[in-house]
Amino acid sequence: MPSKARTPPPIVDRREDLLQVQDLRVHFPSGHKLAGSQQWIRAVDGVTLSVMRGETLAIVGESGCGKTTLGRAMVMLQPPTTGKVSFGGIELTNLRSGALREARRHLQMIFQDPYGSLDPRQPVEEIVGEPLLIRGVNVTQRRERVAELLDLVGLGTDTASRLPREFSGGQRQRIGIARALAADPKLIVCDEPLSSLDVSIQAQIVNLLLRLQRRLALTYVFISHDLAVVRQMADRVAVLYLGTVVEIGETRCLFESPRHPYTVALLLAVPTLSLHTPSAEVPVLVAGDPPSPTHVPSGCRFHPRCWLRDQLGRPDICLSSNPALSGSDTHQVACHFTAELTAMRTPAPSVAQ
């Protein structure tokens, strides 16, 4: 996808936190409790971060690292096991059903699958208007608002009576975006909204999301595995590994000077990225699959696959101590050997123009 300079949306104060996640954990049972073999899948395991008003925070990582579960927990579609989620200063994890339902209208989600996320039996007018129906908006106002939303996402009002099967994948994703906008949200979690679309359609949806953000003063959490799109879309990036954040920072800093060996590996795995290193011995890819989230390694979770640890002679601290995020307000990393990584590399992963 061609790179395009991102124009920041006209939001007042980017330093204001709109959503905060504190020590969030989402664990799922696995195995048979009666047989004494029940274990826990630690999908999200101690995530603390904030999303600033008006920004796009991207969440990246390998498949199975917990990105989608974290996104769903942020909007309380997935109840956290422990931890806190606060939105606009209100702790959502303490709200009961009625109050949570009211708060959740400001938090919406665009789903990955534009085919499975729409009811095939409902016409577009009912799909997009459902959030308005729940809020008690009358029929006339609902139809007017649906027409306005369809026009906003680039679909004509004549599409309102048609069924989802009559649309292409890109058009269905536009319907999903219109539905997310119906409740006038302040924050939208975009869960890999481009992954099932052709490249040319992806570019159109990216441009639509950026245009809507500027026009409606939206805040995005953008979940994706496509780092070229992330660089175009995001103000900041959080790198997730085995349910925890290992690096978070401003997009330009993270892409041009990654400080965690896992981030370096992700950037090197993208064909359109390049890395200039002083040594040809630095591995290009991380070998093997991530460990099972039911058996998280002791110490640093990345140490079984860490090429930097191998370069440094496999120090024991990686096995015994799990590093916490540290650094500046603009760039934090969880690694015992950030300085060594910085010293052995020249800044360089960058998207090919």
**Which residues on adjacent β-strands are paired with residue 86?**
20, 91
- Kindly tell me if the per-residue pLDDT of 11 is higher than 50: no
Please tell me the predicted confidence (pLDDT) of residue 282: 44
b/e sequence 188-206, b meaning 16+ C-beta within 10 Å: bbbbbbbebbeeebbbbbb
Q: Is 170 part of any domain?
A: no
Percentage of residues in the chain having pLDDT higher than 70? 87
| The dihedral formed by the CA atoms of 169, 171, 175 and 181, expressed in degrees to the nearest 10 | 110
Q: Can you spell out the DSSP letters for 154-213?
A: T--GGGTTS-GGGS-HHHHHHHHHHHHHTT--SEEEEESTTTTS-HHHHHHHHHHHHHHH
Average pLDDT over all residues of the chain: 87
3 state SS of 56: strand
> In terms of DSSP H, where are the helices of 234-316?
251-256, 261-268, 307-311
DSSP 8-state symbol, 25: E
Pairing of strands 17-30, 187-191: unpaired
- Kindly tell me if the per-residue pLDDT of 36 is higher than 70: no
Residue range 53-68: mean pLDDT, rounded: 95
Q: How far is CA 90 from CA 19, 87, 99, 141, 220, in A?
A: 9, 5, 11, 30, 19
Written as six digits, the tokens of 276 are 């200039």
Query: Which has more confidence, 192 or 284?
Result: 192
- 244-288, pLDDT tens digit by residue? 999 999 999 999 999 999 999 999 887 655 555 444 444 456 777
Residues 6+ apart with CB under 8 A from 76: 85, 92, 93, 100, 104, 107
Residue range 143-151: mean pLDDT, rounded: 95
- Kindly tell me if the per-residue pLDDT of 6 is higher than 50: no
Q: What is the CATH number of the domain that holds 234?
A: 3.40.50.300
Written as six digits, the tokens of 156 are 């004509």
- Sheet strands (E) in the chain: 17-30, 39-52, 56-60, 82-87, 90-91, 107-110, 187-191, 219-223, 236-241, 244-250, 273-274, 326-327, 331-333, 350-351
Q: Is 199 part of any domain?
A: no
Written as six digits, the tokens of 163 are 């069924």
**Residue 33 burial (C-beta neighbours within 10 Å; 0-12, 13-18, 19+):** exposed
| Crossing angle of the two packed helices 139-152 and 124-134, in degrees rounded to 10 | 120
Please tell me the predicted confidence (pLDDT) of residue 281: 43
Please tell me the predicted confidence (pLDDT) of residue 273: 52
**pTM across the whole model:** 0.88
Written as six digits, the tokens of 339 are 């300085």
Q: Is 186 part of any domain?
A: no
Residue range 81-102: mean pLDDT, rounded: 91
Q: Is 178 part of any domain?
A: no
Q: Which domain holds residue 346?
A: 16-96+219-353
Phi-psi label, residue 314: left if phi above 0, alpha if psi -120 to 50, beta otherwise: left
Nearest-CA neighbor of 275 among 333, 351, 330? 351
Query: Which has more confidence, 300 or 2?
Result: 300
At 33, is the pLDDT very low, low, confident or very high (cuts 50, 70, 90)? low
Question: What does residue 84 show for φ and ψ, rounded to 5 degrees?
Answer: -130, 145
Residue range 330-340: mean pLDDT, rounded: 94
- 211-255, pLDDT tens digit by residue? 999 999 999 999 999 999 999 999 999 999 999 999 999 999 999
- 95-123, pLDDT tens digit by residue? 988 888 888 889 999 998 878 888 889 99
Q: Is 22 part of any domain?
A: yes
Q: Is 70 part of any domain?
A: yes
Residue range 21-50: mean pLDDT, rounded: 86
Phi-psi label, residue 97: left if phi above 0, alpha if psi -120 to 50, beta otherwise: alpha
Q: Is 123 part of any domain?
A: no
Question: Domain total for the chain?
Answer: 1
Residue range 43-56: mean pLDDT, rounded: 96
Q: Is 210 part of any domain?
A: no
Q: How far is CA 199 from CA 2, 4, 118, 305, 335, in A?
A: 10, 15, 22, 32, 35
